Amino acid sequence: MLKQKKSKKGVFITLIGVVALLALTVVLENVLDPTKNIMLFTVLKKGAVYALVASSMNLLNGFTGLFSLGQAGFMLLGAYAYAIFTIPNSARENVYYLYGGSAIHFSLPELFGGGAVGLILGVLLALILAGIVAAAVAWLIGLPVLRLKSDYLAIATLGFAEIIRAVFQWDKLGPVTNGANALKSYPTFSSFNIPGGLRLSTAVAFLMAAVCIAIILLLINSSYGRAFKAIREDEVAAEAMGINLAKHKRLSFCISSFFAGVGGGMFAMFANQVQAKTFTTALTYEILLIVVIGGIGSISGSCIASFLYVACSEWWLRFLDEEHFIGTFKLPLMRNGFRMVVFSVIIMIVVLFFRRGIMGDKELPDLFQKRKPKPGAPVGKEGAK
């Protein structure tokens, strides 16, 4: 517990690992033909987005001990904010055809002069704006809601996510949100592919997610992070130690929502269109299950679990949905929907029997350290473990 400084070696190795991963995605996407390996790249991009959102949820649920189920609502805010600010002016007429054009007459990438520079700056600014919108709403929601205890907090945040969804589908807001219809034609990950040159869409998704997750990790290892963990372990004791409960809970809630908003913006980039009905409670549950599978209180666990989860649900278990024959014998049970049944049984097994998930509350560097204990490490360090 006393050992606050992580060994520099482990962090360094993780950093190299992330850079190597980024390089690998660039190489993969340019060596393999994306049109023939659609599944692989879909999984990689969606996995990166989910990793960010799961990490943000883990910050709140795993590290601060606030059981919130509002993640889908904040993703929705982020996704809409991103889409609304980046749809090119020329496409607005087309997207908002039901409402006779949009109420907003600018587009961030075009404000920055268009082209590659405009695209990068505009998308970055829009994503940050997406986060800020989500964080601001979280601040407002937090005023009444954060006073509630565990399961009441869960149900109240879930309720807020539903309210947000209803508001965004409201016809009167049509000129801004396009009502219940989809927003589209904004820059997506594929916009970052250089025509005739490098394909960068997957690498961009990875880079954005990695930067955000790194910020979350830095936060968790800062004094704020330690305060969050203290609140998780024992609120009363934390308060007695001089931690301002209300302030730190609000901070954790807003930061988590900020990254959920950025994640929502990236989800919009991944999905090519935004529609309020995508962001249901089921999406929150999905993210929650990823956090549980990865281990509550482990960011690297959330990242690994999100790629596993997305790969299983989108790709590896697909064969369960198709009918198979061995000779003339038709395998029983295999038909549309069977994949999700098998999948939810696996999740139940994890929840019931492997409650600590993949990583427990350890991070990747911790595992690395354990395998190679330093010879002649001071006794105090061992005792503190």
- Rounded distance between C-alpha atoms, residue 21 and residue 231, angstroms: 34
Of 218 and 345, which has the nearer Cβ to another protein? 345
CB of 113 to another protein, least distance (A): 40
CB of 337 to another protein, least distance (A): 4
Q: Which residues make Cβ contacts (< 8 Å) with residue 355, sequence separation at least 6?
A: none
DSSP state of 84: H
Angle at 66 between CA 279 and CA 7, to 5 degrees: 105
Residue-wise burial string across 189-200, b where 16 or more C-beta atoms lie within 10 A, e elsewhere:
bbbbbeeeeebb
Of 138 and 289, which has the nearer Cβ to another protein? 289
Of 112 and 343, which has the nearer Cβ to another protein? 343
Residue 284: phi and psi, rounded to 5, are -60, -45
CB of 316 to another protein, least distance (A): 17
Of 27 and 351, which has the nearer Cβ to another protein? 351
CB of 377 to another protein, least distance (A): 33
- Rounded distance between C-alpha atoms, residue 153 and residue 252, angstroms: 14
Burial bucket for residue 365 (CB in 10 Å: 0-12, 13-18, 19+): buried
Angle at 350 between CA 292 and CA 347, to 5 degrees: 80
CB of 72 to another protein, least distance (A): 13
The length of the chain in residues reads 385
287 close to 74: Cβ distance less than 8 angstroms: no
Binding site for another protein (CB under 8 A): 61, 67, 144-145, 147-148, 150-152, 154-156, 158-160, 162-163, 166-167, 169-171, 236, 281, 285, 288-289, 292, 296, 335-338, 340-341, 343-345, 347-348, 351-352, 355
Which H or E run includes 273? strand 273-274
Of 58 and 188, which has the nearer Cβ to another protein? 58
Of 135 and 161, which has the nearer Cβ to another protein? 161
CB of 144 to another protein, least distance (A): 5
CB of 350 to another protein, least distance (A): 8
CB of 52 to another protein, least distance (A): 21
Of 54 and 289, which has the nearer Cβ to another protein? 289
Of 21 and 346, which has the nearer Cβ to another protein? 346
Of 218 and 346, which has the nearer Cβ to another protein? 346
What does the block give as tokens for 288?
């929650």
Sign of CA dihedral 214, 215, 218, 219: negative
Q: Which residues make Cβ contacts (< 8 Å) with residue 366, sequence separation at least 6?
A: 10
CB of 193 to another protein, least distance (A): 35
Which segments of the chain does DSSP mark as H helices, in order?
Answer: 8-31, 38-58, 71-86, 89-95, 108-111, 115-145, 150-168, 174-177, 201-220, 223-233, 235-240, 245-271, 281-294, 299-311, 338-353, 364-371, 379-384
CB of 21 to another protein, least distance (A): 29
Of 171 and 382, which has the nearer Cβ to another protein? 171
